[in-house]
């Protein structure tokens, strides 16, 4: 298993030697390596068992650092960065040649974000290179929001996990592209569509554009637990159950259903708070995956604010 601790100097040394380290962010834990080293980046793909057509996000300490790795930062991008960085927003920008093609899967844009976590920001300020970091889970599985989640799955393959506690946002960053006249949201995430539109005006949301192999966060099946999962209105899901002897668990929004065993149900937020629900989502899915059940029913949450990102993740987790 990996060493879990808060020794930033040790993490810095490991990264400088080309090793990978798990780092905390406000969204989910990342599997980080030197973004300027094709060798370190290759190791990231191998460790996650991630296909090479899935580009990585590059993490920087602040907007000034971002200038080092991209050609230009448009006014709209600056406006977004000044409002939402540090925070859960990834902006697609034209990359400089120094960023290896492997990072971007050959695309000429690179996803850049400044994560909002004191340990990781301090680390990034001390490094002479940015960090490529996908979520620290095997490809296709639920993202990790606690150091133990990372250790359980990747602990044998990496030397160190920087312990920043439980992630406070709990759902991955929103990804936005600014190439076209109307900005495009490629992945719903920790910054809501409403917040973005308040900052820069109308955007288009283009998820799931089906055969698009370059953004697997858009793949229909992703973020999935090992158990079968069904997503929708709880009453409908319960009605659709065919066999009585299936051991069924549920991920519910505010209240447990009397139709199922209470111990097999987890609540996202008793007060109906979508921020709390996002924060709880991935660890609840992991807990349900460990329970003695065959099927997970996941209740749809209100489709506003962070609720859209939560429903998006559950819909993909349900796709098989
Ligand atoms: O919150 C987050 O974004 C977390 C933390 C660790 O920062 N990272 C994360 O990375 O979720 P990952 O690799 O699990 O998801 C990154 C997504 C992928 O779906 C990838 O296809 C998309 O970002 N992406 C990265 N660069 C892109 C680009 N240049 N154009 C389009 N999509 C891109
Ligand atoms: Mg991921």
- pLDDT, one tens digit per residue, over 148-173 is 999 999 999 999 999 999 999 999 99
Report the pLDDT value the prediction gives residue 208, as an integer from 0 to 100: 61
Least confident of 25-39, 138-152, 243-257: 243-257
CB-based contacts of 146-155 (< 8 A; 24+ apart in sequence): 146/29, 146/283, 147/4, 147/22, 147/24, 147/29, 149/29, 149/282, 149/283, 149/286, 150/2, 150/22, 150/29, 150/31, 151/1, 151/2, 151/4, 154/2, 154/22, 154/31, 154/47, 154/48, 155/1, 155/2
Q: Output 52 or 243, whichever has higher pLDDT.
A: 52
Report the pLDDT value the prediction gives residue 217, as an integer from 0 to 100: 56
Rounded to the nearest angstrom, the distance between the alpha carbon of 284 and the centre of ligand 1 is 22
Pocket of ligand 1 (CB under 6 A): 25, 27-28, 30, 54-57, 88, 90, 92, 104, 107, 109-111, 115, 133-135, 172-173, 175, 186, 214-217
Query: Residue 108 CA to chain centroid, in angstroms?
Result: 22
Mean pLDDT of the 19-35 span? 98
Mean of the per-residue pLDDT values for the chain?
A: 94
- pLDDT, one tens digit per residue, over 203-247 is 999 986 544 545 555 565 677 888 999 999 999 999 988 766 679
Instruction: Report if pTM > 0.85.
Output: yes
Report the pLDDT value the prediction gives residue 219, as an integer from 0 to 100: 60
- Per-residue tokens: 4: 């879990």
Mean pLDDT of the 274-284 span? 98
Report the pLDDT value the prediction gives residue 242, as an integer from 0 to 100: 76
Say yes or no to pLDDT of 54 above 90: yes
Q: Output 300 or 207, whichever has higher pLDDT.
A: 300
Report the pLDDT value the prediction gives residue 264, as an integer from 0 to 100: 96
- From the CA of 32, give the closest atom in ligand 1: 6
Query: Residue 170 CA to chain centroid, in angstroms?
Result: 8
Ligand showing the shortest atom-to-Cα distance for residue 216: 1
Report the pLDDT value the prediction gives residue 245, as an integer from 0 to 100: 63
């Amino acid at each position: 298993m990996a060493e879990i601790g808060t020794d930033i100097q040790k993490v810095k040394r490991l990264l400088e030697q080309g090793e990978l380290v798990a780092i905390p962010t406000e969204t989910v834990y990342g599997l980080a390596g030197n973004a300027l080293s094709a060798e370190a980046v290759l190791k990231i793909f191998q460790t996650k068992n991630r296909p090479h057509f899935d580009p990585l996000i590059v993490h920087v300490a602040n907007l000034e650092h971002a200038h080092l790795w991209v050609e230009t930062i448009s006014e709209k991008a600056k406006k977004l960065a000044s409002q939402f960085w540090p925070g859960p927003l990834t902006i697609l920008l034209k990359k400089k040649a120094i960023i290896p093609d492997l990072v971007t899967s050959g695309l000429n844009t690179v996803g850049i974000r400044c994560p909002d976590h004191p340990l990781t920001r301090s680390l990034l300020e001390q490094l002479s290179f940015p960090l490529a970091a996908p979520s620290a889970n095997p490809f296709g599985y639920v993202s990790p929001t606690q150091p133990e989640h990372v250790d359980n799955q990747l602990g044998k393959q990496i030397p160190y996990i920087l312990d920043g506690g439980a992630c406070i946002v709990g759902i991955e960053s929103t990804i936005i592209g600014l190439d076209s006249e109307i900005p495009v949201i490629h992945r719903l995430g920790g910054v809501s569509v409403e917040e973005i539109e308040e900052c820069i005006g109308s955007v288009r949301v283009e998820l799931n554009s089906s055969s698009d192999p370059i953004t697997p966060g858009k793949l229909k099946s992703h973020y999935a637990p090992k158990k079968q999962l069904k997503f929708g209105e709880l009453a409908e899901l319960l009605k659709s159950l065919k066999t009585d002897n299936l051991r069924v668990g549920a991920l519910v929004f505010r209240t447990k259903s009397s139709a199922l065993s209470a111990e097999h149900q987890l609540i996202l937020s008793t007060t109906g708070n979508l921020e709390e629900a996002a924060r709880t989502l991935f660890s609840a899915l992991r807990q349900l995956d460990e329970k003695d059940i065959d099927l997970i029913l996941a209740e749809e949450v209100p489709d506003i604010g962070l609720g859209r990102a939560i429903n998006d993740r559950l819909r993909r987790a349900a796709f098989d």
